[in-house]
Amino acid sequence: MFTNQENTISNLNPGADDLWFLPLGGTGEIGMNLNLYGHQGKWLMVDCGVSFNEPLVPTTKAPDSALADTFAVVAPDPTFIAENKDALAGLVITHGHEDHVGAVPYLWKRFRCPVYTTPFTAELLRRKLARENLGGQIPIIEVSGESTHTIGPFVVSWLAITHSIPEPYAVKIATQAGTVLHTADWKIDANPISGKPFKHSLYQSLAEENILALVGDSTNALKPGMSLSERTCYDGLLSTIKPLTGRVVVACFASNIARLISLAKVAANTGRYMALLGYSLVNMVGIARAQGIWPEEATLADASHIGYLPPEEVLVVATGSQGEPRAALSRLALDNHPSLELSKGDHVIFSSIVIPGNEKEVEKLVSRFNARGISTLLSEDSQLPVHASGHPCSEELKLMYHWVKPEIAVPVHGEHQHLEAHAQIAKSCGVRKTYVGQNGDLYRLAPQAGIRRGLIKTGRIPIRQKN
């Protein structure tokens, strides 16, 4: 049980028999992941991310008046751990998506702890830090895949998994009080295009390790079945693009290197030249090349030359799939991009989902293209798979629980309805203890499982205002 004394931040100190989980961001919402594990007087942070075009009050809780002011970039309020930074043993970054790594350049000075991650994510982070004039100031410790490091009282093992970015990892966090599997973002993909296939045996073997708790991704818990493979997405894109005449523009998330590799192959197989429009795309491919992930045969055309080619030879990948006003896709829709002008008979394909909250911005894009005679295809409307999610659907969650057999399930990375659906799946797999909470709740995993709701004040802080 929690005592009154334990309710104060200054006395929230986990003992040798305690293992606590405390999310400051990413639980009860999608994005801005910042998770803390407490044990033996120390804390371990897992991920430190941002979200985009958000108000400072979540839309599910805010009156309409509070939603008028949105910010280009927001991050979780780190006050609790900043006030306890002497107890912070380290920060583990599971992969390179913005909602897991994007806040590090802005919040690290409040923590000043070492950062542990794998080479691809480390290179991505270094480039971010250089843009914020923090190059060389943050101790980044590169870890190899499936390695183990002792970080204070936590023994952290990196477990390879599949997702929609190179080098995604789950982490196994072992302590004297118990062991947690923190899945981060994942899916089961037998042919991920970039990286190795999902390794079932790695997770099946965890059943022998008496995993105390599984803290896991809930994004697609409401969706039945299995997620699509990136290979299936490649086949769908090839079949969609092959019969088209005119220029083809594909909008996708810049971090999805596998999708970019697939599109380069589609270009080669359809007699088109592929170019990238948008800084984040160019940056990501540059990192992939530096890390030996980008195939040498996947050639790219110079973006400044693509406008001179015949329409039927053009395949462009552009940033801005969520309707971001300054991104390449918006500039193409407004017909003011310096490298390419689209015209009637051209095509725009969204190889992405519309993230909730961005519907109006995407609708504006579609309307502008359609008004000019440029056809558009949203992945949600396509008869062929032109996008594959990087998150597990219900059957994948069931498999993970049957393999790992944890005592406790803690759904994270989702809004309340996703967390509830995840909890029900865990219960159906025989997990007796499930806890659905939100940011600021303290989950006591050991010695006695329980949850104290609203123990820590949480919120959002603005990182960058809209222009």
Q: pLDDT digits over 285-302, tens only?
A: 999 999 999 999 999 999
Tokens of 189: 């993909």
Q: Average of pLDDT values for 119-137?
A: 95
Q: How many domains does the chain have?
A: 2
The two three-digit tokens of residue 253, written as one number: 């998330």
pLDDT tens for residues 440-466? 999 999 999 999 999 999 999 999 877
pLDDT > 70? residue 370: yes
Residue 337 has pLDDT above 90, yes or no: yes
CA 250 – CA 237 distance, rounded (Å): 10
- Percentage of the chain beyond pLDDT 90 is 89
Domain that holds residue 251: 230-381
Q: Is residue 242 located within the same domain as residue 193?
A: no
Average the pLDDT over each of 60-74, 291-305, 358-372, 378-392 and give the range with the smallest value: 60-74
Q: What is the pLDDT of residue 7?
A: 39
Asked if pLDDT for residue 59 goes beyond 90, the answer is: no
Indicate whether 329 and 408 sit together in one domain.
Answer: no
Which tokens belong to 341? 């002008």
pLDDT computed for residue 2 by the predictor: 43
Do both 92 and 179 map to the same domain?
yes
Same domain flag for 238 and 99: no
Strand partners, 154: 151
Note whether 341 and 432 are same-domain residues.
no
Same domain, 451 and 423: yes
Check whether residue 396 and residue 301 sit in a common domain: no
Neighbours of 84 (CB within 10 A): 18
- Residue that finishes a domain, picked among 381, 409, 440: 381
> Terminus-to-terminus CA distance in the chain, angstroms?
48
Bond into 192 cis (ω within 30): no
- Residue 81 tokens, joined: 């751990």
- Other Cβ atoms within 10 Å of 251 Cβ, number: 28
pLDDT for the residue 347: 98
Q: What is the pLDDT of residue 426?
A: 98
Boundary of a domain, candidates 356, 381, 406? 381
Q: How confident is the model at residue 10 (pLDDT cuts 50, 70, 90)?
A: very low
CA nearest 192: which of 133, 114, 257? 257
pTM of the shown model? 0.94
Q: What is the CATH number of the domain that holds 221?
A: 3.60.15.10
pLDDT (tens digit, 9 = 90+) per residue, 263-283?
999 999 999 999 999 999 999
How far is 326 from 34, CA to CA, in rounded Å? 28
Average pLDDT, the chain: 94
Residues 217 and 120 in one domain: yes
Please check whether residues 436 and 422 belong to one and the same domain: yes
DSSP 8-state symbol, 67: G
Where helices occur in 144-302 by DSSP H, the ranges are 200-204, 230-241, 257-269, 279-290
pLDDT of residue 57: 85
Query: With the C-alpha atoms ordered 148, 151, 152, 154, is the resulting torsion angle positive or negative?
Result: negative
For residue 198, give every residue at least 6 positions away whose Cβ sits within 8 Å of its Cβ, in sequence order, or none.
161, 162, 187, 188, 189, 190, 192
Residues 30 and 413: beta-carbon distance below 8 Å: yes
Q: Is 440 left (phi over 0), alpha (psi -120 to 50) or beta?
A: left
Distance CA(251)–CA(159), nearest Å, equals 31
pLDDT(407) > 60? yes
Name every residue whose Cβ is closer than 8 Å to that of residue 56 and which is 6 or more positions away in sequence. 66, 69, 71, 74, 459, 460, 461, 462
Structure-token pair, residue 384? 């062929």
Residue 267: CATH number of its domain: 3.40.50.10710
Token output for 443: 């989950």
Q: Find the Cα–Cα–Cα–Cα dihedral 412, 418, 423, 427, rounded to 10°.
A: -140
Left, alpha or beta for 163 (phi > 0: left; psi -120 to 50: alpha)?
beta
Residue 351 has φ and ψ, to the nearest 5°, of: -90, 60
Name 150's Cβ contacts closer than 8 Å, sequence gap at least 6.
156
Q: What's the sign of the alpha-carbon dihedral 144, 146, 149, 154? A: positive
**For residue 3, what pLDDT band results from cuts at 50, 70 and 90?**
very low
Boundary of a domain, candidates 381, 413, 445:
381
Spatial strand order of the sheet with 154-160 comes to 148-151, 154-160, 169-175, 178-184, 213-217, 408-412, 433-434
**pLDDT for residue 11:** 64
172 with 288, same domain: the answer is no
DSSP state for residue 388 in the 8-state scheme: -
Length of the chain: 467
Could you tell me how far CA 180 lies from the centroid of its own chain? Answer: 20
Q: Are residues 161 and 194 in the same domain?
A: yes
Q: How far apart are CA 114 and CA 91, in angstroms?
A: 6
Mean pLDDT value across residues 165-172 = 97
Let me know whether 454 and 329 are in one domain.
Answer: no
Going by pLDDT thresholds of 50, 70 and 90, the confidence category of residue 467 is: low
DSSP 344: T
Concatenated DSSP letters of 254-285: TT-HHHHHHHHHHHHHTT-EEEEESHHHHHHH
Predicted confidence (pLDDT) at residue 6 exceeds the cutoff of 60: no
Cα separation of 419 and 423, whole Å?
6
